[in-house]
């Protein structure tokens, strides 16, 4: 295929098993899903994988008295369902069904009780889950606060946050299924006495790197926020109020940290328990790592998603096809519960007693584009309710039919359904993250808007692969708009918003995630939540200029619109240090703050002026090996600190030499202005170019070499560096595996090219 543009939908296999997969989808399957031998060679094709999964999941029918012929018919139905890419189960099912591991669930919730035995039982159980490829959610709300009495030892408690760090360290040590570390959700109730420590526990980006965190906000707290009242902080050990806190001040602290780092999110725990289908069995206190699946202790989630982009035929929704897919998908997911090999007997017991499934959707943005409906519009919100209401109603009907055939879930008489029609499953619908399965289906992720219309992936030999949204290309070609110049413009910007003369109606239809208003994101989440049994995975993507007030409004609106949780991500928030003036409006205060931070000199207008160069400076020269040859980086100091940096190539002249000279001049200007050199290192390290050196020390580019030389110089002076990837810092990172752009979507960092996921 040509390297300049990806052709989507071309058959890659011939014969009766032919299916349409994009090149991207095939790459993801080969890298992460298809079986391999001990040498890493592929032993199955995509159709083999789908046949393996279909055969394994259909075999559950034998437990309900089906004949071999009937089981084979179900297997074929499941196979065709996945081969058509109309529906895909969650990744563990695709990866593990029909194999020895047979662990088919993506995530679990484990209880953490207020004793050393319970805490370390949870830690051991989490290790077993991570080993099997799952993620875990925990509520630490039962733990007594720090400095509380521990009568058995006559000592004091260290509090929930300290134990979270133990869980984080254990996760770091365990490779999930041999490929990646497990993801965790840590939750603390807003009325826990240690809530302040919890809210700020991820302000240092080098700690708790394997945790998402969310505050469990109660109705009482949210009402107190609106009224500016105090509320009680309750010691979970005694059940008594320990102190009072100002709800608005606490809310502002949550907002401030979410603005700064993206954490914590919020879950509205009373709204979640109002929708708890089995309140007599237990209270829900936590969710899975991405927040869309509230679960009882020892429950697991069994998820799958319908590809809505496939449900549009000739510009109209094929409702009959959608109904058939829903019915078959519910049967598939119910069978998954029976075929699952759970990592703990308690999880097997609880999951089988409630038989929760989570049928969701993906390709929502694609569906809207095909129907010509702008994502941020009243029409889109109303249509979202219509589609999800249809999925939920048909899903419940399918669950009722299974209950007649197989019996209701064992805890049915303890459920909210006990006076109605028997149900096979305590819950049926969930809007879950669809990261890599949406890549396989070649559709937009979950209910998110498109993140970018186009982007470039750099490959070997300086080639570039240009990825253009197929709906965008098709629409523009139909209207005679598609040109090489347009393709180049959208590849460079990822958007059409700034392209002169581009039709206004198409700008609305092809609006990207950062062009959707915060309110638009929340209203779309609320529209789907209205007809979803569990919760909705959705990220409110914000530009770096978003304010704390913007985030406060988002949280309040999400609560008012009956969302069960909310996650925001401000672009660059995990690596940006923004100078704030504080609450006062005194014009002299920003200057005072700048003086404190930069230790620089300012002119009469308050503008920073770099300090003058002395006659003599002292320094050292570092020789770095780059793909363009040797790079000599000289770093000099004056009496205060590092002062200037020169970078010269071994061979003079050319573009590379001029670029390194420019970089050196800008770094020198920054150093003379008092900018922290550590911040400069963080900005430079990890920048990539095609000419890389992958020897003992990996050098990805000349800027990367300069950053590493500066780091080495600082380390010689005793500066300690915590190694932190660009992914962790959130500085518009690229995928650590393939170098393509990373996006923050559905509560997680994901790569839409190779399928890398941080969750």
- Tell me the residue length of the chain: 759
Where is average pLDDT lowest: 18-27, 119-128, 519-528?
A: 18-27
Residue 522: alpha-carbon gap to chain centroid: 17
Average pLDDT over residues 700-720: 86
**590-592-594 Cα angle (round to 5):** 70
467 close to 452: Cβ distance less than 8 angstroms? no
Is the model's pLDDT at 15 over the cut of 60? no
Query: pLDDT tens-digit profile of 573-632?
Result: 765 332 222 233 333 333 333 333 334 455 555 567 788 878 788 888 988 888 777 888
Rounded (to 5) percent helix, strand, coil in the chain: 40, 20, 40
Report pLDDT for 602: 53
Beta carbons within 8 Å of 679's beta carbon, 6+ residues apart: 577
Domains of the chain: 107-287 (3.20.70.20), 576-609 (no CATH), 611-723 (no CATH)
Is the model's pLDDT at 177 over the cut of 50? no
Average pLDDT over residues 551-565: 97
Query: CB pairs under 8 A, 24+ apart, for 60-67?
Result: 60/335, 60/336, 60/338, 60/339, 61/335, 63/338, 64/405, 64/406
Residue 648: alpha-carbon gap to chain centroid: 40
Distances in Å between the Cα of 563 and the Cα atoms of 387, 523, 567 are: 18, 9, 11
Token duo for residue 477 = 């070609």
Cα separation of 745 and 370, whole Å?
A: 22
Average pLDDT over residues 698-719: 86
Cα separation of 49 and 288, whole Å?
A: 27
The one catalytic residue in 107, 290, 735, 748 is 290
422 close to 403: Cβ distance less than 8 angstroms? yes
Query: pLDDT tens-digit profile of 209-227?
Result: 889 999 999 999 999 999 9
**400-334-275 Cα angle (round to 5):** 65
Report pLDDT for 576: 36
- pLDDT band at 181; cut points 50, 70, 90: low
Distances in Å between the Cα of 541 and the Cα atoms of 293, 299, 552 are: 21, 30, 14
More confident residue, 377 or 175: 377
CA-based nearest residue to 184, from 170, 200, 203: 170
Q: Is 223 left (phi over 0), alpha (psi -120 to 50) or beta?
A: alpha
Report pLDDT for 599: 42
Query: pLDDT tens-digit profile of 135-153?
Result: 999 999 999 999 988 876 6
Query: pLDDT tens-digit profile of 198-208?
Result: 999 998 877 89
Cα separation of 89 and 335, whole Å?
A: 12
H/E element, 119: helix 116-132
**Mean of the per-residue pLDDT values for the chain?**
86
Report pLDDT for 120: 95
Query: pLDDT tens-digit profile of 389-430?
Result: 999 999 999 999 999 999 999 999 999 999 999 999 999 999
Q: How many CA atoms lie within 13 A of 602 on its CB side?
A: 15
Report pLDDT for 728: 43
More confident residue, 206 or 114: 114
CA-based nearest residue to 534, from 336, 342, 388, 368: 388
Report pLDDT for 598: 38
Report pLDDT for 554: 97
Report pLDDT for 597: 34
Distances in Å between the Cα of 193 and the Cα atoms of 53, 140, 248, 411, 488 are: 47, 12, 16, 35, 55
Cα separation of 725 and 208, whole Å?
A: 14
30 has which bridge partners?
none
Beta carbons within 8 Å of 344's beta carbon, 6+ residues apart: 125, 128, 129, 298
Is the model's pLDDT at 706 over the cut of 60? yes
The one catalytic residue in 61, 292, 487, 746 is 292
Query: pLDDT tens-digit profile of 497-527?
Result: 888 889 999 999 999 998 999 999 999 999 9
Report pLDDT for 193: 97
Where is average pLDDT lowest: 96-105, 295-304, 336-345, 732-741?
A: 732-741
DSSP string of 563-599, one letter each residue = -SEE-EEETTTTT-------S---THHHHHHHHHHH-
Cα separation of 11 and 17, whole Å?
A: 10
More confident residue, 729 or 533: 533
Cα separation of 471 and 474, whole Å?
A: 5
Average pLDDT over residues 632-640: 87
Instruction: Kindly report the backbone phi and psi dihedral angles of residue 319, in degrees, each rounded to the nearest multiple of 5, phi listed first.
Output: -65, -35
Query: pLDDT tens-digit profile of 422-481?
Result: 999 999 999 998 988 999 999 999 999 998 898 776 544 445 567 788 999 999 999 999
Cα separation of 88 and 45, whole Å?
A: 16
590 close to 579: Cβ distance less than 8 angstroms? yes
Q: Residues 527, 532, 534, 538: is their CA dihedral positive or negative?
A: negative
Q: Is the pTM of this model over 0.85?
A: no
The one catalytic residue in 288, 310, 411, 636 is 288
Q: How close are the terminal C-alpha atoms of the chain, in Å?
A: 32
293 close to 358: Cβ distance less than 8 angstroms? yes
188 has which bridge partners?
215
Cα separation of 190 and 33, whole Å?
A: 40
Residue 741: alpha-carbon gap to chain centroid: 14
Q: Which one of 392-396, 486-490, 641-645, 683-687 scores highest in mean pLDDT?
A: 392-396
Whether a cis peptide bond, with omega within 30° of 0, leads into 186 is no
**105-128-735 Cα angle (round to 5):** 65
Report pLDDT for 603: 53
296 close to 350: Cβ distance less than 8 angstroms? yes
% the chain with pLDDT above 90: 59
Average pLDDT over residues 119-134: 91
Cα separation of 475 and 466, whole Å?
A: 18
Report pLDDT for 492: 79
For residue 290, indicate whether it is catalytic.
yes
Distances in Å between the Cα of 745 and the Cα atoms of 63, 545, 561, 749 are: 39, 19, 21, 6
Strands (E) in 449-513, as ranges, are 454-458, 464-468
Report pLDDT for 521: 96
């Amino acid at each position: 295929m040509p390297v300049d543009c990806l052709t989507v939908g071309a058959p890659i296999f011939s014969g009766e098993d032919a299916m349409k997969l994009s090149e991207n989808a095939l790459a993801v399957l080969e890298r992460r899903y298809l079986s391999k031998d001990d040498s890493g060679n592929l032993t199955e094709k995509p159709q083999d994988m789908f046949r393996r999964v279909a055969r394994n999941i259909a075999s559950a029918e034998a437990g309900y008295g089906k004949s071999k012929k009937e089981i084979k018919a179900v297997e074929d139905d499941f196979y065709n369902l996945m081969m058509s890419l109309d529906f895909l189960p969650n990744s563990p099912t695709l990866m593990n069904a029909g194999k020895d591991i047979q662990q088919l669930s993506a995530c679990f919730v484990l209880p953490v009780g207020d004793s050393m035995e319970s805490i370390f039982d949870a830690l051991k159980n989490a290790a077993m889950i991570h080993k099997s490829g799952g993620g875990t959610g925990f509520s630490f709300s039962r733990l007594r606060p720090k400095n509380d009495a521990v009568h058995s030892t006559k000592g004091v408690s260290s509090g929930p946050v300290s134990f979270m760090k133990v869980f984080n360290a254990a996760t770091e040590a365990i490779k999930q299924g041999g490929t990646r570390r497990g993801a965790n959700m840590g939750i603390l109730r807003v009325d826990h006495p240690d809530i302040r420590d919890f809210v700020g526990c991820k302000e240092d980006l080098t700690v708790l790197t394997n945790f998402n965190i969310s505050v469990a906000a109660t109705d009482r707290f949210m009402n107190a926020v609106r009224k500016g009242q105090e509320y009680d902080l309750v010691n979970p050990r005694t059940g008594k109020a320990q102190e009072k806190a100002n709800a608005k001040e606490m809310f502002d602290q949550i907002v401030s940290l979410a603005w700064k780092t993206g954490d914590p999110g919020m879950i509205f725990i009373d709204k979640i328990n109002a929708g708890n289908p089995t309140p007599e069995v237990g209270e829900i206190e936590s969710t899975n790592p991405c927040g869309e699946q509230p679960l009882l202790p020892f429950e697991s989630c069994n998820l799958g998603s319908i590809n809505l982009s496939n449900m549009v035929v000739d510009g109209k929704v094929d409702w009959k096809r959608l109904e058939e897919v829903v019915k078959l998908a519910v049967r598939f997911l119910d069978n998954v519960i029976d075929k699952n090999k759970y990592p703990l007997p308690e999880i097997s017991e609880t999951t089988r007693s409630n038989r929760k499934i989570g049928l969701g959707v993906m390709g929502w943005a694609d569906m809207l584009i095909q129907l010509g409906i702008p994502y941020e519009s009243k029409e889109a919100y109303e249509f979202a309710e219509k589609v999800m209401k249809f999925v939920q109603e048909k899903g419940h009907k399918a669950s009722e039919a299974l209950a007649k055939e197989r019996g209701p879930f064992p805890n049915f008489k303890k459920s909210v359904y006990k006076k109605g029609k028997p149900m096979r499953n305590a819950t049926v619908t969930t809007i879950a993250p669809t990261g890599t399965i949406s890549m396989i289906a070649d559709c937009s992720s979950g209910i998110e808007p498109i993140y970018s219309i186009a982007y470039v992936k750099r490959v070997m030999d300086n080639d570039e692969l240009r990825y253009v949204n197929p709906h965008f290309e098709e629409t523009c070609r139909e209207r005679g708009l598609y040109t090489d110049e347009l393709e180049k413009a959208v590849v460079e910007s990822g958007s059409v918003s700034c392209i002169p003369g581009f039709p206004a109606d198409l700008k609305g239809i092809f609006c990207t995630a950062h062009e959707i208003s915060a309110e638009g994101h929340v209203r779309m989440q609320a529209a789907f939540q209205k007809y979803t049994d569990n919760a909705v995975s959705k990220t409110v993507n914000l530009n770096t200029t978003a304010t704390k007030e913007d985030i406060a409004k988002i949280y309040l609106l999400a609560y008012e619109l009956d969302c069960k949780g909310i996650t925001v991500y401000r672009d660059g928030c995990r690596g940006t240090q923004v100078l704030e003036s504080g609450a006062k409006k005194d014009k002299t205060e920003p200057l005072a703050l700048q003086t404190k931070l930069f230790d620089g000199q300012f002119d009469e207008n308050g503008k920073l002026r770099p300090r003058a160069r002395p006659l003599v400076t002292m320094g050292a020269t570092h020789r770095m090996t780059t793909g363009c040859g040797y790079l000599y980086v000289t770093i000099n100091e004056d009496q205060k600190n590092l002062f200037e940096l020169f970078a010269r190539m071994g061979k003079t002249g050319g573009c590379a030499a001029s670029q390194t000279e420019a970089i050196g001049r800008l770094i020198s200007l920054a150093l003379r202005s008092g900018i922290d050199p550590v911040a400069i290192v963080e900005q430079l390290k990890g920048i990539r170019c095609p000419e890389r050196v992958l020897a003992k020390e990996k050098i990805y580019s000349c800027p990367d070499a300069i950053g590493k030389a500066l780091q080495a110089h600082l380390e010689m002076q005793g500066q300690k560096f915590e190694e932190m990837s660009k992914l962790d810092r959130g500085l518009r990172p690229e995928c650590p595996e393939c170098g393509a752009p990373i996006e923050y979507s559905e509560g997680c960092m994901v790569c839409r090219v190779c399928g890398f996921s941080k969750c």
